[in-house]
Chain A
Amino acid sequence: MAEMALWEAVRRAHDEELARDPMVIVMGEDVGLAGGTYKATLGLYEKYGPERVIDTPISENSFTGLGIGASFLGVRPIIEIMSVNFAWLALDQIANTAAKVRYMSGGQLQAPVVIRSPGGVAHQLGAQHSARMEKVFMGIAGLRVVTPSNPRQAYGLLKSAVRCNDPVFINEHEYMYNLRGEVPDEEYLHPLEGSEVAREGRDVTLFGYNISVHWCLKAAERLAAEHGIDCEVVDLYALSPLDRAGIARSVAKTHRAVIVEEAEAPCGVGAEVMAIINEECFYELDAPPVRVSARNVPIPYNRTLERAAIPDPDEVVAAVLRLLGR
């Protein structure tokens, strides 16, 4: 097990997949000569050449569509959209073509593309560079959505996504590329479905994904140390399809649920997990589930306002204490 930064894990996955299969290509803005905005493709242009590590013009919808068209013939494009905010521009090709082409062709065509994009609230990037779009993508039938919370997942999910015959959207976080963690030395394919128990506990389940897993883990430590509350943390690395069985299993164990998301509450992951809890295990609950979400505002520039707009471990702690009537 080597420890590495998340960007290094993503870069390693790119490198290994490019080396394994000549049909794998990488495309996006500044992914080539510049090595990628977050270094996810550093050195790969030199190693695999401009035909396979392709610097695109700033034309998100069309370079995404180009990758999708290539995938019809068996090319395996890894498309980087520099910031998830720009994925709104590519939504037509992602939702109308990649996600639907297998279905509307009666199974004749498939679009095995990987679309990676960092989102989330980072360093005062303002309203148009702080989107959290996972809720948009997870509502699209025919598209898989995964979101890594650590370097191991970032590495293994990308490798699996490249080999998957479905289009996969990988939701990364701008804040997390320097996050360090262990990644297996040998090749590792992470499943694209399921969830992981990041911390075992008895009293309450904290559901998180991506950055909010870390808030949950921090909150769980404090709740254990300061209040004697034993939290389970479930990492929902797969957002579509969500792990219904895994969600129900943990709720059946702890009987209480808090869902923590960096995105706004309406139509989000929290809403969906709550619905699943209702449908799968309502009678296991000892208390109504709670969401800890961002405020429903465009993200402001001012640092204090920006931090106030999104949750943090303190808010998770407070939510758990309220839930337990403390």
Chain B
Amino acid sequence: MPLETIEDKKRVLREMLFARRFEERCYEAYVERKIGGFLHLYPGQEACVHGVMEAARPGFDYVITGYRDHIHAIKCGCDPKAVMAELYGKATGCSRGYGGSMHLFDVEHRFMGGYALVGGPFPLAAGIAKAILMQGGEEISICFLGDAANNQGTFHETMNMASLWKLPVLYVCENNLYGIGTRIDRSTAVVDQYKRVCGYNIPAVQVDGQDVEAVYEAAKEAVAHVRARKGPYFMELLTYRYRGHSMSDSNAYRPKEEERKWSRRDPIIILRDRLVEAGAMTHDDYKRMDDEILDEIENEIVPFAERSPEPRVEDLERYVLADDDSCRRA
């Protein structure tokens, strides 16, 4: 799914706007206590996953990420209804109600999950890449994580192995400048994240993560490199999340001026304005698109989650171990 033509751009604009509205609706459902646990929302960062995945093959390439995972799952092909149902803890959810917001899975679409230990997916993505090499496929492994994950040991340990063994894995660092509530320059000696992999001989690039077309152009090269089996690649996307780290975060640690500055570089507005300037759409078209999305969320997605059944208590111990018991008894 390339981002080349006007039609591609309109489609991606719609997908990013859908992502924004979907997350905003999750926020409301959380406030209404329909969604429990922790909820990490994506608004502000939409150009990251969309730009990268337009250059890759969603549903074919393997994707793994952290707990801010709703839009990554949807971009891989997971039905947004199944995502919302999962957030509601329903049996129709993409993890059958066993995972929740932080643990979305859709293995059929090769979305290999959201994981909630910061930095945990680094080696898992490398392992997926190792399996791809063994099985001789053309897939690549793509790992999306935030900047703060790079301060975990798994980052350095895995970059070393991925480079040493030339694994077909693309690491995408969505640098939103904050690790929970701590600003990057207060936690991290080297603020430019792409510089941190040069010690592992991994090609790396820093890109404006608010411009989906810039992300896409950079990702084309990254994906081509990895798919050509030249080894891992690292992308740093400079971005910003509009909300707190999670819903339990008052977001009081960020200067208002900083928030205003980033809101003027909204990834959806940037792409919309380009399309309007190019005469490809009008503000009315955009408004209509938005209305359609809101209608779909309100009248299809939320009701599906609301009406879906709960998982059965009888199944509480299901999925702890494998169903087949061939290895258990003599």
Contact = CB atoms under 8 A, between A and B. Distances in A.
Given A65-B122, A193-B329, A109 B127 contact: no
A102 interface: yes
B308 interface: no
Closest 3 CB pairs of A and B: A69-B127, A65-B123, A106-B96
Interface string A193-231: 110000000000000000000000000000000000000
Contact of B131 (A69, A161, A189, A193): A69
Contacts of A56: 161
B160 A141 contact: no
Given A72-B124, A96-B120, A109-B107, A62 B158 contact: yes
B132 to A, nearest CB: 7
Interface in A27-85: 51, 56-57, 59, 61-75
Nearest to A143: B321
A111 to B, nearest CB: 9
Contacts of B64: 69
A141 B320 contact: yes
Contacts, number: 170
B61 to A, nearest CB: 13
Contacts of B158: 59, 62, 65-66
Contact of B123 (A63, A101, A191): A63
A192 B322 CA distance: 13
Interface of B: 62, 64, 93-99, 103, 105-108, 112-113, 115, 117, 120, 122-135, 153-154, 157-158, 160-161, 164, 318-322, 324, 326-330
Contacts of A101: 113
Given A61-B154, A62-B157, A93 B321 contact: no
Given A68-B123, A106-B99, A108-B106, 4 more contacts: A65-B154, A69-B127, A75-B134, A105-B95
Interface in A156-212: 160-161, 163-166, 189-194
A117 interface: no
B124 A69 contact: yes
Contacts of B107: 105, 108-109
B197 to A, nearest CB: 15
9 contacts: A57-B161, A66-B158, A72-B127, A104-B98, A110-B322, A191-B330, A192-B328, A193-B329, A194-B330
Contact of A107 (B108, B112, B126, B318): B318
A61 B157 contact: yes
Contacts of A192: 327-328
Contacts of B328: 191-194
Given A62-B158, A192-B327, A97 B103 contact: no
Nearest to A162: B327
A132 to B, nearest CB: 24
Contacts of A65: 120, 122-124, 126-127, 154, 158
A92 B116 CA distance: 11
A74 B95 CA distance: 20
A67 to B, nearest CB: 6
Nearest to B133: A51
Contacts of B103: 104-105
A142 interface: yes
Nearest to B116: A96
Most B Cβ at <10 Å: residue of A106, A110, A191: A106
Interface in A132-150: 141-142, 144
Nearest to B155: A62
Given A66-B126, A75-B130, A61 B164 contact: no
A93 B93 CA distance: 25
Nearest to B143: A69
Interface of A: 22-23, 25, 51, 56-57, 59, 61-75, 92-93, 96-97, 101-110, 141-142, 144, 160-161, 163-166, 189-194
A110 B327 CA distance: 15
A190 B62 CA distance: 35
A312 B47 CA distance: 64
A106 B321 contact: no
Contacts of A74: 131, 135
Given A73-B132, A164-B322, A194-B329, A68 B124 contact: yes
B113 to A, nearest CB: 6
Contacts of A97: 115, 117, 120, 124
B320 A109 contact: no
A23 B134 contact: yes
B134 to A, nearest CB: 6
Given A65-B122, A194-B329, A107 B134 contact: no
A23 B133 CA distance: 11
B95 A104 contact: yes
Nearest to B159: A62
Nearest to B91: A106
B322 A102 contact: yes
B93 to A, nearest CB: 8
A59 B322 contact: no
A51 B94 CA distance: 34
A73 B106 CA distance: 14
A191 B64 CA distance: 34
Given A163-B327, A165-B324, A59 B157 contact: yes
A62 B153 contact: yes
B123 A107 contact: no
A269 B129 CA distance: 38
A59 B113 contact: no
A70 B133 CA distance: 10
A59 B161 contact: yes
